[in-house]
Amino acid sequence: MANPSRLRACALATTAVLLFALPAGCGDGTKDGDLSAQTLDWKDCPAPSQAEGGGTAPSPLAGGATWQCATMKAPLDWNDPKGDTIGIALIRAKATGPASRRIGSLVFNFGGPGGSGVTTLPAFGEDYAALRTRYDLVSFDPRGVGRSAPVKCESDSQLDTYFQQDATPDNSAERAALLNRTKQFNAACETNSKKVLPHVATTDAARDMDLMRQVLGDDKLHYFGISYGTELGGVYAHLFPKNVGRAVFDAVVDPTQNPEQSALGQARGFQLALDNFAQDCTSKTTDCPVGDTAQDVKNRIAKLLNDLDKKPISGIPPRLLTQTAATNGIAQSLYSKDFWEYLTEGLEQAYDGDGRVLMLLSDSLNGRSEDGEYSNLTAANIAISCVDEKPRYSAEYVQQKLPDFRSASPLFGDYLAWGMVGCTGWAVPGAADHPDVSAPGSAPILVVGNTGDPATPYEGARKMAEALGEGVGVELTYKGQGHGAYDSKDKCVQSTVNGYLLDGKEPKGGTVCS
């Protein structure tokens, strides 16, 4: 892991995985150079690019309608809006209901930073069929991601090495190796993506969304943000409070935390999810195959990781399952309770010397396809995080903080602590300690927190609601497991969210779904 936000990247996008030139030019072809006046050329979507994760073109929707794609031109540099442009890749499914009932477009961001909305929305499109009755469902690849001026750092073979590195060094030699490997990765990003790196901040993406709102023909931005998408939505609301329509934030980032606090919160969150997995497995009527008690399950996992640190086992040939890859795989499986069965299977096999399932889970988290090609998920995640986040942490500082992280999580503590060095030496200075999401004058925003969320711990929902401001943030609690609430299929959550987005029914703040 190269960045403390890495584990929160794309829970939904990487779930979908389980189932590079920069386009720029001085002319944009719009009237008087007004990008808000451009007309989008919607066509049936092609197969995803390698940077988007590869695969086949999205299947037709129920009823035979097709997914449509287009490219929106946006300024490379928002401080120079008449200068070079980049292409922002969009996807949509048109509303199914009568035109008289259509509200507008509902724009989705599924998380990351670094996740491709163009590939993720079709993977989950049917989950939002109710919302499609009154909205065109729209998503996009944010700048730096997928088809939208993608950040490129290292080759596929180099990334294989990068993800095999020892991310939890135990001595000075291993620390030096980690720092050197991080330096190499960051230098490759600067060499291969120098032109775009200063312009992939969340504030830039928020400005793209307001341009998108205008190009789509909407007076207000109706928005559904998940995970990092809630941070992007909060920044949008801060910059354009009067343009916010009906908006929902699910799996909510705590906007008050700096990167260290966020990493420490994730350590607690993933440890809680692991505790819940272990308790669930050992409380079933049949024997839990990976431990006799919840503590035994965790002890055996800890021993496995310790053994892998000394001697990796067979993974997906020719790669071995290292301690880092196994930790990645375990983390990926904790994003959804539906993945717990894969974690059980992966652990059973790993205890017998077979690391294939855990490595598949690790590959999913890192955006690696079965053919060995990587999406640009990791490159974009690090580039966006590092231009957003001002703090830069030294190895000495991390070493001092290890006891706090180990207290928060014996399993994930070291892993997340050392991730804090990922932006050290980055070519572009970071913007702030944490994002500003205060949005006085905005329409109400429904903020949904999940008590069992590992990647964006539950407490972040209340912090977001408070930071948005009085009368803006409306908190809804879901007592469940996994990253996010709406896609848990909980009827209470879905009816509340749908009621707000479709009919403007604002729930009472503090409503609880269990």
Count CB-CB contacts under 10 A for residue 484.
27
- Name the CA radius of gyration of the chain, rounded: 22
Using CB atoms within 10 A of its CB, is residue 362 exposed (0-12), middle (13-18) or buried (19+)?
buried
CA–CA gap between residue 176 and residue 222 (Å, rounded): 47
The tokens for 145 are 């991601």
d(CA 59, CA 458): 35
**Three-state SS at 351:** helix
Beta strands in 141-237 (DSSP E): 221-226
CB 320 within 8 A of CB 329: no
Instruction: Collect all residues with Cβ–Cβ distance below 8 Å to 445 and sequence separation of at least 6.
Output: 233, 237, 244, 247, 248, 249, 439, 468, 472, 473, 474
The catalytic residue positions are: 227, 453, 483
What is the Cα–Cα distance from 177 to 175, expressed in whole angstroms? 5
Amino acid in position 448: V
Contact 155, 378 (CB under 8 A): no
Closest to 443 measured CA to CA, from 233, 201, 156: 233
Three-state secondary structure along 384-438? HHHHHECCCCCHHHHHHHHHHHHHHCCCCHHHHHHHHHHHCCCCCCCCECCCCCC
User: Please, are residues 443 and 249 in contact by the beta-carbon 8 Å criterion?
Assistant: no
Cβ atoms of 468 and 436 within 8 Å: the answer is: no
